[in-house]
A and B are shown apart, each in its own frame.
Chain A
Amino acid sequence: MIIVNQKDFASGLLYIALGSVVTFGATSYPIGTAASMGPGFFPFWLGLILALVGGAVIFHSLGSGRSDETGLLEAWHVRSLLIITISVVAFGVALSFLGLIAAIVVLTLISSTASQQFTLTRAAINTVLLLFITIAVFVYGLGLQIQIWPPFMLN
């Protein structure tokens, strides 16, 4: 008995873990009975069913014979994952403290570095273009109420 499909095996583990956490968490709310369901009733059973599905996925991923080449766990492309995530979070932080213009600059400059064709000139041109387009379309066109300039510059 070996793990034929690693991806399925890992997904199964994920389902079981998540399901157990949800079912366990649901017990902190009143469960009630079927006739008068408490807030914990639906999550309790959902978690349990998810864990069961996870068990079935794991069972399915096991077998004898050779492992499935396409089922091997893939390496993570941590670089693009990190850059994209950081740029989005930085956009949020900059938006709340410095306004939209700063947020756009931060987002485009950081995210551009994820590309293999990254050059500073390209990123800068892109940033300037996006600044104009975004402000024109969203702030003046659609009239979104977004703080454009840093708050301290207005005082």
Chain B
Amino acid sequence: MDIFSNIALGLTTALSFQNVLYALFGCLLGTLIGVLPGLGPLATISMLLPFTFGLEPLPALIMLAGIYYGAAYGGSTTAILVNLPGETSSVVTVIDGYQMTRQGRGGVAIATAAIGSFFAGCVGVLVLAAFSAPLTKLAFSFGGAEYFSLMVVGLLGAVSLATGSMLKSIGMVIIGLILALIGTDLNTGVQRFTFGQPHLWDGLDFIVLAVGLFAFGEIIASLEARGDREAPIGAITSLIPTREDFRRMAPAILRGTGIGSLVGVLPGAGLSMASFLSYSLEKKVSRHSAEFGSGAIEGVAGPEAANNAAAQTAFVPTLALGIPGSATMALMLGAMVMHDIQPGPGVMTKNPDLFWGLIASMWIGNLMLIVLNLPLVGIWVKLLKIPYHALFPAILLFCCIGVYSVQFSTFDIYLAAAAGVVGYLFRKLECEPAPLILGFVLGPMMEENLRRALVLSRGDFSTFVTSPISAGLLLLAAFLVAIVLLPAVRKRRDDVFSE
């Protein structure tokens, strides 16, 4: 089967009335929660995940993908209108997007972001469809050693390209790996670190951890920061960009899409890297480089296209190899596991309709975002005005019900409360909780593949360097760490992130 018949198969699956409805619902819900102040995409997704568990696997994944895009889109809307980046990937959008709002061109900025995102999303889906098949073939030749090394690359890549101290993030990854140990060891049936609690025999649930670390942590942190800012919301005048706007945004969108598609595929690189790279490129090549920082439309178009392209292609390693590149992808992967789908090379061959259906529904999701959200932007703006004191009890309540509904166990609620306290401690120490979730989701696979590799090699660790693929991957991992440790690069990186 070639790529087009695959996409056709996907479209027929995804275009069923029920699945379109779930995509629509997911997009709306994701945007709705994503726009609300004080709740980033990670917290949004962890809060909404449990509500997809009652569905069949494909509609659930489609709805989740919708939530994912919706949340990201909601993040750019708040970035542009109220100078509030939802997550690191929209930090760059804030720079010129909010300036455009202050000049009364907020509507144009939002439209630009939507157009750029849609175009990039379409290209990203094609890249995803084209790359997944060969990568899946390659992955079938992987043994334990190769998989283990691949996960090392993924984890180290994720921490080396993210913000914050790399050493501390590596520590957080390991804490995630350790937390994943809790429960019954699948190979021997031994209960590890369960402290005699039967509730822990099945291990910690990743929803519990994610809600505690991200959602509760964010609520507590927001309550603490409240009071000093009531961000003025820019008025929306016109949504339609002028011809001059189109002329300026088109090349930026093209370049952003290219960068984003490439960067997204890299294990661990993530969306923020894509938008940062795109912004610095636009600033370099633009003839209007003096306008950057005071409302240059390229500064919105490029990065928004880049992070949406990356958002699509980030699914490549997640779907084809089962290795998530970011905490958000780790959440998506965890959700798939909860639906008894083990992401990796098997999905594409065993459930082709599910695999291609999901990919096609991503494109549909992108389309919905542009068709629905531009007309609805007025409603989203009104949502921004909901006072926080009315909002956070609702968020808290929905989180609690979500956590409870995973297993109908109040023990999970107490665990989430504890995770919230730990998350607050991490925040205070500036330890990023995102790498922890990544480690947590990959933990069981990592142990299993380490075990397999070492059984085959009879305990000889050189198996990781004698296999050429594994050796190459480990070299890549070493390279990723080395570039971050190089003083020159480190300084550049700090500059980019502090810009």
Which residues of B are found within 8 Å of A102, using beta-carbon distances? Answer: none
Partner pick for B429 among A10, A18, A38, A112, CB 8 A cutoff: A10
Establish whether residues A88 and B167, one from each chain, have CB atoms under 8 Å apart when the complex forms. Answer: no
Inside 8 A of A81's CB, which chain B residues have their CB?
A: 220, 421, 424
A53: contacting residue among B174, B187, B192, B457, CB under 8 A: B174
Q: A77-B224, A85-B420 are in contact. Are A56 and B389 (CB under 8 A)?
A: no
Q: Which of B120-128, B240-248, B395-403 lies on the face that meets chain A? A: B395-403
Expressed in whole angstroms, the Cα–Cα distance for A14 and B226 within the complex equals: 29
- Cβ of A95: which chain B residues have Cβ within 8 Å of it? 404, 410, 413
- Is residue A93 contacting chain B, with contact meaning CB distance below 8 A? yes
Docked-complex contact A57 and B168, CB < 8 angstroms: yes
Chain B residues lying within 8 Å of A117, measured Cβ to Cβ, are: 387, 389
B-side contacts of A118, CB under 8 Å: 389
In the complex, whether A108 has a CB less than 8 A from a CB of chain B is yes
Chain B's nearest CB lies how many Å from the CB of A2?
19
List of B residues within 8 angstroms of A8 by Cβ: 165, 168
Q: How far is the CA of A8 from the CA of B408 in the complex (A)?
A: 39
**What residue of chain B has the Cβ atom nearest to residue A88's Cβ?**
B417
User: What chain A residues lie within 8 Å of B420 (beta carbons)?
Assistant: 84-85, 88
Known: A80-B220, A134-B397. A142 touches B51 (CB 8 A): yes
Residue of A nearest to B396 (CB): A111
A64 within 8 A of B: no
Chain A residues positioned under 8 Å from B457 (CB to CB) = 35
- Interface contact B226-A115, CB-CB below 8 Å: yes
Residues of A close to B216: CB separation below 8 A: 84-85, 88
The verdict on A107 contacting B397 (CB below 8 Å), with A38-B188, A116-B226, A126-B390 known, is yes
- Residues of chain A with a CB closer than 8 A to B429's CB: 7, 10-11, 14
B468 within 8 A of A: no
Q: Which of chain B's residues have a CB closer than 8 A to the CB of A146? A: 401, 404-405, 408
Please tell me if B494 contacts chain A, counting CB pairs below 8 Å.
Answer: no
Q: Does B140 contact A (CB under 8 A)?
A: no
* A34 interface residue (CB < 8 Å to B): yes
* Contacting residue for A36 out of B405, B410, B421, B455, CB 8 A: B455
Q: Fill in one digit per residue for A32-49: 1 if any B CB lies within 8 Å of its CB, else 0.
A: 011111110011001101
**Chain A nearest CB: distance from B404 CB in Å?**
7
Given A25-B193, A81-B421, A84-B420, also A46-B397 (CB < 8 A)? no
Distance of A11 Cα from B169 Cα, bound (Å)? 11
CA distance A35 to B389 in the complex (A): 57
A29, B421: Cα distance in complex, Å: 29
A34 to B148, CA, bound (A): 15
- Complexed CA–CA distance, A67 and B73 (Å): 40
Interfacial chain A residues near B393, Cβ < 8 Å: 107-108, 111-112, 123, 126-127, 130
> Measured between alpha carbons, how far is A89 from B224 in the docked complex, in Å?
20
A15 and B417 within 8 A (CB): no
Give min CB distance, A128 to chain B, whole Å.
Answer: 12
Establish whether residues A35 and B414, one from each chain, have CB atoms under 8 Å apart when the complex forms. Answer: no
Task: Say whether A108 contacts B178, CB under 8 Å.
Answer: no
Expressed in whole angstroms, the Cα–Cα distance for A20 and B317 within the complex equals: 34
- B109-117, B286-294, B446-454, B470-478: which one contacts chain A? B446-454
Residue from A11, A49, A84, A96 in contact with B220 in the complex, judged by beta carbons closer than 8 Å: A84
Tell which of B54, B181, B187, B396 touches A143, judged by Cβ atoms closer than 8 Å: B54
A49: chain B residues at CB < 8 Å are 174
User: Are B175's CB and A144's CB within 8 A?
Assistant: no
Assess the A37–B451 pair: CB atoms within 8 A: yes
Whether A60 contacts B421 in the complex (CB less than 8 A), given A35-B459, A111-B393, comes out as no
Say yes or no for B190: interface residue by CB 8 A criterion. Answer: yes
Indicate if the CB atoms of A107 and B400 lie closer than 8 Å. yes
Task: Say if the beta carbon of B4 comes within 8 Å of chain A.
Answer: no
Tell me if B392 counts as interface (CB < 8 A to partner A): yes
Contact present for B410 and A84 (CB under 8 Å): no
1/0 per residue B259-302: CB within 8 Å of A?
A: 00000000000000000000000000000000000000000000
Query: Does residue A76 face the partner (Cβ distance < 8 Å to B)?
Result: yes
Give the chain A neighbours of B458 by CB distance below 8 A.
Answer: 35
Q: Contact partner of B392 among A37, A111, A127, A138, CB < 8 A?
A: A111
A112 → chain B closest CB, angstroms: 5
What's the least CB distance linking A9 to chain B, in Å? 10
Q: Mark B159-198, 1 if CB is under 8 A from A, else 0.
A: 0000001011011001101100100010110101100000
Establish whether residues A7 and B459, one from each chain, have CB atoms under 8 Å apart when the complex forms: no
Cα distance, A76 to B178, chains bound together (Å): 26
Chain A residue with Cβ nearest B410: A92
What is the bound-complex CA distance between A11 and B424, given in angstroms?
A: 13
Chain A residues near B405: list those with CB within 8 A.
138, 144, 146
Complexed CA–CA distance, A88 and B412 (Å): 11
* A22 is an interface residue with CB less than 8 A from chain B: yes
Cβ-defined contact, B181 with A42, below 8 A:
yes
A58 → B minimal CB distance (Å): 10
Q: Are A57 and B167 in contact (CB under 8 A)?
A: yes
**B227 and A116 contact, CB distance less than 8 A:** yes
Q: Residues 352-395 of chain B: 1 if any A CB is under 8 Å from the residue's CB, otherwise 0? A: 00000000000000000000000000000000000111101110
Tell me, in angstroms, the Cα distance from A57 to B392 when the chains sit together: 35
Instruction: Name the A residues within 8 Å of B202 (CB-CB).
Output: none
Those 6 A-B pairs whose CB atoms lie nearest each other, nearest first: A35-B459, A34-B459, A92-B413, A115-B389, A80-B223, A77-B224
The interface of chain A, by Cβ under 8 A from chain B, is 7-8, 10-11, 14-15, 18-19, 22, 25, 29-30, 33-39, 42-43, 46-47, 49-50, 53-54, 56-57, 60, 73-74, 76-77, 80-81, 84-85, 87-89, 91-93, 95-96, 104, 107-108, 111-112, 114-118, 122-123, 126-127, 130, 133-134, 138, 142-146
Pick 11 A–B contacts, CB within 8 A, sort by A.
A36-B459, A42-B181, A53-B174, A57-B165, A73-B428, A77-B224, A108-B397, A122-B389, A127-B393, A143-B54, A146-B404
